[in-house]
Amino acid sequence: MAEERFLTETKHQRFRPYSKYKDSGVEWLGEIPAYWEVKRIKNVARIHTGGTPAGLLDEAFEEEGIPWVKPDQLQGDCGIVAPDRRLSYNAAKSLGIVIAGSSLVCGIGTVGKTGHALVDVCTNQQINAITFGPKVINRYGQFMTVCLEQEFARRANKVTIAICNKSEMGEVPVCIPQTEEQRSIASFLDRETAKIDALVAKRERLIELLQEKRTALITQAVTKGLDPNVPMKYSGVEWLGDVPIAWNLLRLKHIVQFLGGGTPSKDNLEYWQGDIPWVSPKDMKSWIVSDTVDKITEEAVAGSATKVVGPDTVLIVVRSGILNHTIPVALSGSEVALNQDLKALKAQAAVVPEYLAYFIAGMQSPLLFAWRKEGATVESLELDLIANTLIPLPSVSQQRIIVNYLKRETAKIDALVKKVQEAVQRLKEYRTALISAAVTGKIDVRDEVRR
């Protein structure tokens, strides 16, 4: 585990343990400093469960009101993302106003996810607000709460949906040092986590730059080719600009066959016990899609609007919230069926499927603008706009050369991205382990604050 790895590493670092420990009597806490106390949360804090204004009445909300927090806005010891809705004072008062500094813990669904109130807020019914009393300073309580995610989750009732109510949360034991020591620990963690966060931010920015380089590489190859000296001509399409003079410009509907999908009846459970991968937007996370979360039977295919397509078929998402910023594109790695939120583009002889997939991947921004369906209530792409898009195409042999080049070069970038992502993950694990070690007394950081 990350904490065990961290504790092993710290033997050779500056962090030292306390001079004397005692058994906390709590398995997951283990030994704690001899003079620290173990208390249940209910004995050192007040816990309040939020709510939702009846019927979400418009009069309950106002632009300059009190922030109304939901679970997706919780950001651990960093606080919360600015809520998108605010309550009137009367509506907030009826739900219960949570004072600034309180810890916020999701008790329904993603149990244990935490944040804290930067200002006075209200929360919805999924969140329990923990307002600590005089024995626990807010910042120490916030760090301490972050470390309790697994304990909250362990105590959740998972019969239908995971729930850890405020009574159950109140029973969770925590270890508490003296107030001044809490301040020292909180100050130390603020300083050290800020350093780690800065490193994480730099590496995440590097990932963004690598991904931008990857996209630019693809864009250049599928619109200009690999020879920088080749004569060019204007494509007639503003977002394409000039393309090699020998390339053809063909509408997508002339080089692919479009196939849609559907969803077999959820009421017939036998439909969902087959071995045919059924692709939905949640499966479109890799370049080659061969396996899926859901699988269906041949009877399900025959009894629904879903279609089965063969390997090397280009798949794109045409309806999903993700279309706000990207078009998921992939190639089928085997025979797969589709749901109604995807389209399959079955390439004809003039186009290499992977070349077409690279074109869509490299031209994300202009294609999103060109293909988006106006006035739709859900983010979606318009099939007619897709079908009439002009695609610049070199010969099939040149397409294959470009595909091989892009495979080789993007693989190099992908390897770098993976390496940096692994470094980011290690930093985040170290950060979590450092917080846990400090607030459970496994390391003594009091002298660190004075350095």
The pLDDT tens digits of the residues spanning 339-358 come to 999 999 999 999 999 999 99
pLDDT of residue 10: 47
385 assigned to some structural domain: yes
Mean pLDDT value across residues 194-223? 96
State whether 332 and 291 are in the same domain. Answer: yes
193 and 231 assigned to the same domain: no
pLDDT band at 62 (very low <50, low <70, confident <90, very high): confident
**Phi, psi (deg, nearest 5) at residue 418:** -60, -40
Rounded percentage of the chain residues whose pLDDT exceeds 90: 78
Flag whether pLDDT at 3 surpasses 70: no
* Averaged pLDDT for residues 305-331: 93
pLDDT of residue 11: 46
pLDDT category of residue 448 using cuts at 50, 70 and 90? confident
Strand partners of residue 347:
256
What mean pLDDT comes out for the span 388-412?
96
158, pLDDT greater than 90: no
Is residue 104 included in any domain, yes or no?
A: yes
Which of these ranges, 1-5, 157-161, 210-214, has the smallest mean pLDDT?
A: 1-5
Whole-number pLDDT of residue 243: 95
**What does the pLDDT look like over 266-312, one tens digit per residue?**
999 999 999 999 999 999 999 999 999 999 999 999 999 999 999 99
CA distances from 122 to 67, 231, 390 (A): 6, 63, 51
**Does 411 reside within a domain?**
no
Report the pLDDT value the prediction gives residue 377, as an integer from 0 to 100. Answer: 58
4 pLDDT higher than 60 = no
Q: Is residue 342 part of a domain?
A: yes
Predicted confidence (pLDDT) at residue 447 exceeds the cutoff of 60? yes
- pLDDT (mean) for 364-392: 87
The total of other beta-carbon atoms located within 10 Å of residue 337's CB is: 29
Q: Quick one: pLDDT band at residue 8, thresholds 50, 70, 90?
A: low
Asked whether 71 and 163 are in contact (CB, 8 A), the reply is no
**256 pLDDT more than 70:** yes
Query: How many C-beta atoms lie closer than 10 Å to residue 392's C-beta?
Result: 21
The confidence band for 90, taking pLDDT boundaries of 50, 70 and 90, is: confident
Computed over every residue of the chain, the mean pLDDT equals 91
pLDDT on residue 419: 96
* 444 and 377 both lie in a single domain: no
Quote the number of domains for the chain. 2
pLDDT interval class at 439 (50, 70, 90)? very high
177 and 292 share one domain: no
Q: To which residue do tokens 């931010």 refer? A: 201
Give yes or no for residue 12 having a pLDDT over 50. Answer: no
Q: Annotate 146-197 with DSSP letters as a single string.
A: HTTHHHHHHT-B-SSS-B--HHHHHT-EEEE--HHHHHHHHHHHHHHHHHHH
Q: How confident is the model at residue 160 (pLDDT cuts 50, 70, 90)?
A: confident
Distance of CA 447 to the CA centre of its chain: 37
CA distance 83 to 89: 16
What pLDDT, on the 0 to 100 scale, is given for residue 188?
Answer: 94
Q: Which two tokens stand for residue 327?
A: 């078009």
Higher pLDDT, 88 or 177: 177
pLDDT of residue 392: 95
Are 145 and 137 in contact, with CB atoms under 8 Å apart? no
Q: Given its phi and psi angles, is residue 25 left (phi above 0), alpha (psi -120 to 50 degrees) or beta?
A: left
Residue 423 burial class via C-beta count within 10 angstroms: exposed 0-12, middle 13-18, buried 19 and up:
middle
In this structure, the answer to whether residues 255 and 181 fall within a common structural domain is no
Q: In terms of domains, do 133 and 255 share one? A: no
- What domain range is 375 assigned to? 226-393
Domain boundary among the residues 393, 413, 434 is at 393
pLDDT score recorded for residue 13: 59
Q: 160-164, 358-362, 406-410: lowest mean pLDDT where?
A: 160-164
Amino acid 75: pLDDT: 92
Domain membership flag for residue 186: yes
Q: For the residues 110-123, what does the mean pLDDT come to?
A: 92
pLDDT in tens, 24-61: 999 889 999 999 999 999 999 999 999 988 765 667 88
Q: What's the CA gap between 36 and 20, in Å, rounded?
A: 11
Do 350 and 430 lie in one domain? The reply is no
Asked whether residue 189 falls in the same domain as residue 235, the answer is no
CATH number (domain holding residue 297): 3.90.220.20
Question: Is 214 a domain residue?
Answer: no
Given pLDDT bands bounded at 50, 70 and 90, which one contains residue 64? confident
Q: What's the pTM? A: 0.83
